[in-house]
Structure 1
Amino acid sequence: MSDPAAPTPLIDRPALARRRARAARAPELFLQDHVAEGLLDRLAEVNRSFTAPAVVTAWPQVWEGRLPGARIVPDDEVLELEPGAHDLVLHALALHWANDPVGQIIQCRRALRPDGLFLGAAFGGQTLAELRAALGQAEIAVTGGLSPRIAPMGEVRDVGALLQRAGLALPVADVETTRVTYADPFALMRDLRAMGESNALTARLRRPTRRAVMMEAARLYAQAYGQPDGRVAATFETIHLAGWAPDESQPQPLRPGSAAQRLADALGTDERPAGETASGAGAGRTGTGTGTRAGIGTGTGDKAPD
């Protein structure tokens, strides 16, 4: 029996499984294919050979022939991974459907040998921003309320922080944005359904959405995001993650206070008390370590790259 005091899970996993089973018959999973290629591109940049890889994915057909010798593991709540069995683990486009994302990464880290590599890819917070806005405005206008329709997806800083929480060393996160155009908003919704990415939230509306809501959403979508050729744009943001299982051979941070030279001397500047600025100095800019890659929208039929 389930614990009545336990929190209600965000994702309805049985419903998600039904959607994926239907999508498994789809002739094309273009987003999953695109993300798989992105993961392999990043893997190719690593100057190391891996002999015991594993891929956590809901789409084994996408990985057929892509990573020879890899063990394919379903993205269940408890992953079928043995501790220390792999030198490479990929988590491919499934973290956004996890009720416990950090738990998924922890399980991957435990499956890694020392100095093994974890690579992950998950949809980020800007994914389907256009659809989320149009549906929300339409539902409020027509019904006066709002129901959960698109799973919440994290921003790159939040998702990247999961790597540290999971105990991975040398964490890196970057963002890839893929923009795709569709004939109309309904073509986008059909594509999401065909890829198993339709609404599987536990708190979702359990009855068909009113036609008036859908028609108003389509109107608002076309009005706000229509293209000169009459098509509409959709954004898919993929957050790519990388981290290593801790090992003594990895670079270690220096102990605080162990520097042999002052920073001011190394930079060739004068040292001043906090709050004091040099005469004529301009305002500084603060950068982040997060990279952004331009994406490529691919596909056939009702969708086309933007």
Structure 2
Amino acid sequence: MSEMVIFDRAAVAAHRDRAAARLGRVRPVLDDLASRLLDRLDDTGRVFARALDIGGRGAVTPLLAARGIAVVATDLSPRMVAAGHGDVVADEEFLPFGAACFDLIVAHLSLHWVNDLPGALVQIRRSLKPEGLFLASMPLLGTLGGLRAALIEAEAALTGGAAPRVSPFPELADCAGLLQRAGFALPIAERETIDFDYADPLALLRDLRDAGETNATVARARRMPPRELLAMALASMVMDGRLVVRLDMAVLTGWGS
């Protein structure tokens, strides 16, 4: 396991617990992103029988089931599973499955809070049958970049310093290298960019909370931020009365060997 601990996994689970009852508010976005990812299955020309859905928050499993695929879904959050958005409570860093269990494994926007990503990918590859497919998505460097910069600038102006308030994300080239390092055959990492347009800037923060995507870095500030921080940061991002934020999403594919 990697010795580097960037994310507080207990906080990740707590944020997902809190989001379990709120997913309906962001369901259209989660479903659309899952559909974009799973469209890649049509390009494979393969028929899959048994799939593992890692942390899909109820967006991936129905789409796979509609293709006639038997699905086992996991989530780090017990409340997410209790709410029907998974079957098994499981940590992505310690998957409770044996070798060659699935011919398809999907990890949709769930691996970016993992500390030991190389180790998690090795476990996923081992749980994949020979010639099975691993399909994943994760945010890339540049995602929420405007929010990151605005928060740093506003907090520095208010307090003279700034705490990390947006998660670090990998670069695209790193993703393909991680797949190859984990032993996947024919690793591919592609970029897909989606812009989100908000009339109410605060709606961005609500969406992140309702999706379970709020800050869970170990180095995050534990005290309440200055009252003016969020309003100042968001105001600096608004142009022509709108707030536009970008998701740079990596789409990863790799085959079992």
Q: Same fold (TM over 0.5)?
A: yes
- In the alignment, residue 185 of structure 1 is paired with which amino acid? P
Pair 1:17 & 2:13 matched: yes
Instruction: Return the letter of the residue paired with 1:29.
Output: R
SS of the residue aligned with 2:152? helix
2:81 corresponds to 1:65 = no
Q: 1:18 to 1:58 in 2, by over 3 A?
A: farther
Q: Which has the larger radius of gyration?
A: 1
Which residue of structure 2 lines up, in the alignment, with residue 236 of structure 1? Answer: 247
Query: 1:44 — aligned with what?
Result: 42
Deviations 1:215-252 (A, max 9, x none): 32123222xxx1x3x11101111100001112xxxxxx
The secondary structure found in structure 2 opposite 1:62 is: coil
Give the secondary-structure state (helix, strand or coil) at the position aligned to 1:220.
helix
Return the offset for 1:100. 1.2
Does the CA contact (< 8 Å) of 1:32 and 1:93 recur in 2? no
Q: 1:141 Cα deviation (Å)?
A: 1.4
Task: Indicate conservation of the 8 Å contact 2:56/2:73, yes or no.
Answer: no
| Contact kept in structure 1, 2:4 and 2:115, CA below 8 Å | no
Can you give the 5+ residue segments of structure 1 that lack an aligned partner in the other structure?
1-5, 247-306
Structure 1 runs of 4+ with >6 Å offset: none
Rounded to whole Å, the distance in 1 between the matches of 2:75 and 2:99 is 16
Aligned partners of 1:185 and 1:232 also within 8 Å:
yes
2:227 corresponds to 1:211: yes
TM-score, normalization by structure 2: 0.86
Question: 1:170-193 CA distances to partner (integer Å, 9 max, x unpaired)?
Answer: 111101111011123322111111
Distance in 1 separating the partners of 2:61 and 2:182: 29
CA gap 1:80/1:39 in 2 versus in 1, 3 angstroms: farther
Give, as a single letter, the amino acid of the residue that structure 2 aligns with 1:14.
A
Count the aligned residue pairs.
235
Which secondary structure does the structure 1 equivalent of 2:62 belong to?
Answer: coil
Residue in structure 2 matched with residue 135 of structure 1 by the alignment:
151
Root-mean-square deviation (Å): 1.6
Cα distance, 1:105 vs structure 2: 1.2
> How far apart, in 2, do the equivalents of 1:115 and 1:241 lie?
16
Partner of 2:44: helix, strand, or coil? Answer: coil
1:84 aligns with 2:100: yes
Whichever residue aligns with residue 33 of structure 2, its letter is V
1:53-78 deviations in whole A, cap 9, x for unaligned?
1111151x223422121111235120
Letter in 2 for 1:161: G
- Identity between Structure 1 and Structure 2 (%): 40
Q: What is the aligned partner in structure 2 of residue 196 from structure 1?
A: 212
Task: Find the residue that maps to 2:112 and give its secondary structure.
Answer: helix
Asked whether the equivalents of residues 61 and 73 of structure 2 are also in contact (C-alpha less than 8 Å), the reply is no
Q: Distance in 2 between matches of 1:205 and 1:185?
A: 22
Check whether the contact 1:35–1:121 (CA below 8 A) recurs between aligned residues.
no
Contact 1:81 1:108 in 2 (8 A): no
Q: Is the 8 A contact 2:60 2:108 kept in 1?
A: no
Classify 1:98/1:177 alpha carbon distance in 2 versus 1 (closer, same or farther; 3 Å).
same
Call closer, same or farther: CA 1:101–1:8 in 2, change over 3 Å: closer
Instruction: Report the TM-score when normalising by structure 1.
Output: 0.73
Q: Is the helix fraction higher in 1 or 2?
A: 2
SS for the counterpart of 1:73 is strand
| Aligned counterpart, 1:119 | 135
Are residues 78 and 216 of structure 1, via their aligned partners in 2, closer, same or farther at CA, if it must alter by over 3 Å? same
Cα gap change, 1:206 to 1:8, in 2 (>3 Å)? farther
1:160 matched residue in structure 2: 176
Per-residue deviation at 1:113?
1.4
SS in 1 for 2:41: helix
Aligned CA distance change for structure 1 residues 87 and 58 (closer, same or farther; 3 Å): closer
- d(CA) in 2 for partners of 1:88 and 1:117? 5
